[in-house]
Amino acid sequence: MNFYERPVSELRPGDHAWLAYTNKEEQATIVGDFVYDGLNTQEKVVYVTDSRPYELPGMLSRFGIDPTPFAEVGQLRLITLEQSCLTRGRFDPDRLLTTFDREVDVAFDQGFRAVRLTADLSWALRQPGGADLMIGCEHRFDATVGASTMALAICQLDRGQCSPEELAALRDKHEVLVEVNPEFDDGVLKITRTFRPLGLRLEGELDGVRHAVFADTLTNIVPRAQKIHLDFKRLDFIDLGALNLLATWAMRMPGGYGLVLDNLPPDVADVIDMLGWHRFPGLSRGQGEQQ
Partner 1 sequence: MSRDEKLVHEALLYRGRDEFLATALPFVRDALEADVMMLAVVPQPAIEALRDSLGSASASVGFLDASTFYEHPVRTIAAYSQVVTQAAPRRVWALAEPPWRGRTPAEVMEWARYESIVNAAFETSGGRVICPYDVGEVSGEVVAEAKRTHPRLVDATGRWTSLGYLPPKDFNRECDRSPLPPVPPNAERLRFEKAEDLRGLRRFVADYATRHRMADSALAKLHIAMDEVAGNAVRHGTPPMELRVWAEGGRLICEVADYGHWHPDPLVGFLPPEEGLGLWGARMLVDLVQIRAGWSGTYIRLHTHR
Handedness of CA 60, 62, 65, 70 (dihedral sign): negative
| Pairing of β 90-91 and β 115-120 | unpaired
Contact (Cβ atoms closer than 8 angstroms) between residue 191 and residue 217: yes
Query: Least distance to partner 1 from the beta carbon of 208, Å?
Result: 5
To the nearest 10 degrees (0 to 180), the angle between helices 211-221 and 240-251 is 20
At residue 230, the 3 state secondary structure works out as: strand
Q: How far is the CB of 59 from partner 1 (least distance, A)?
A: 39
Q: How far is the CB of 232 from partner 1 (least distance, A)?
A: 13
Q: What span, in angstroms and rounded, lies between the C-alpha atoms of 5 and 19?
A: 10
Nearer to partner 1, 34 or 280 (CB): 280
Instruction: Judge contact between 139 and 3, C-beta under 8 A.
Output: no
Q: Which is nearer to partner 1, 107 or 243 (CB)?
A: 243
Q: How far is the CB of 216 from partner 1 (least distance, A)?
A: 17
Cβ nearer to partner 1, comparing 225 with 274? 274
| Distance of closest approach, residue 284 Cβ to partner 1, in angstroms | 18
Q: Which is nearer to partner 1, 143 or 240 (CB)?
A: 240
Nearer to partner 1 by Cβ, of 37 and 207: the residue is 207
Kindly list the residues in this chain that would bind partner 1 in the complex (CB under 8 A): 188, 205, 207-209, 237-241, 243-244, 248, 266-268, 270-271, 274-276, 278-279
Closest Cα partner for 51 from 83, 75, 81, 30? 81
Distances (CA, A) of 73 to 22, 109, 198: 33, 15, 38
Instruction: Specify the residue, 88 or 278, whose C-beta has the smaller distance to partner 1.
Output: 278
Q: Nearest 10 degrees: CA dihedral of 222, 226, 230, 231?
A: -110
Residue number with CB closer to partner 1 (55 or 186): 186
Q: What is the DSSP string of 170-200?
A: HHTT-SEEEEPPPSEE-SSEEEEEEETTEEE
Q: How far is the CB of 72 from partner 1 (least distance, A)?
A: 49
Q: Taking the CB of residue 165, how many other CB atoms lie within 10 A of it?
A: 9
